[in-house]
Amino acid sequence: MADTTEPVVAQAPWERLYELEHRIYAAVPPIDPPGCHWLNEDAGTSYCWECARKAAWKSLGRAGEPPAEPDWWDRSEDEKLIRDKIDGPSSGESDSGEACHTCRRTLSHLLSGTGVDEELGHFAQCPIEDYHGIDGEQSYVLSRIFMNLTGPWADAKRVDEAILLAEAALSAIAVQKPPAIQFD
């Protein structure tokens, strides 16, 4: 009789990482951060939309808070001046995570190869097991790392480091206590 069983094909490391990545997201969905904005005269400083409006208002030489954001069809001259000073949103490539310069809110970003190395180095020095639980923000940070490594083009050493990180994250999630139920 002929053998009709399918040969077992070994899973590529990046495929293993992809599987682990999706297990993390199923357990702790990543946040969906806002896009990165900047002022036209200072493209190096990143802001969330709300803080970009405040920075643009201040750069116009105006005191206090900017006027409340109007409906899109009812923009004042002040709002047009504010919007003319702001660029974005963007999820540009970065050598590190992106956060608003003012409020420190995480912003949408992609990691460059250097950024992936920096983040993997960070987690090597500050193991994820030492965190007090994994939340949506940490899940998002992990997603930025894994995004660059889940394909046949990915560097094998980086993929191996990311697999260890993903396994550690899943272990941390497994022992994470569910939040206490609050009763009023």
Is there a single domain that holds both residue 124 and residue 77?
no
**Residue 20 located in a structural domain:** yes
**Number of domains making up the chain:** 2
Q: Write down which residue in 66, 90, 114 finishes a domain.
A: 90
Q: Do 27 and 40 fall into the same domain?
A: no
- Pair 28, 65 in one domain: no
pTM of the predicted protein model: 0.80
Pair (117, 138) in one structural domain: yes
Q: Given a cut of 70, is residue 178 above it in pLDDT?
A: no
For CA atoms 166, 36, 152, 121, the dihedral sign is negative
When pLDDT is averaged across residues 173-177 and rounded to a whole number, the result is 80
Domain assignment present for residue 86? The answer is yes
180 in a structural domain:
no
Token duo for residue 48? 């969330």
Residue pair 133/179 in contact by the 8 Å Cβ criterion: no
Q: What residue numbers bound the domain in which 134 lies? A: 13-33+106-175
pLDDT at 75: 74
Same domain? For 143 and 162 the reply is yes
What does the pLDDT read at residue 184? 57
Query: What Å distances lie between residue 72 and 56, 97, 136, 169, CA to CA?
Result: 18, 31, 31, 42
**141 lies in some domain:** yes
Q: Which residue has the higher pLDDT, 3 or 77?
A: 77
Same domain, 54 and 23: no
Task: Tell me if 5 is assigned to some domain.
Answer: no
Residue 39 has pLDDT above 60, yes or no: yes
Residues 6+ apart with CB under 8 A from 41: 59, 85
- In-domain check, residue 59: yes
- Do 23 and 75 belong to one domain? no
Q: Are residues 72 and 117 in the same domain?
A: no
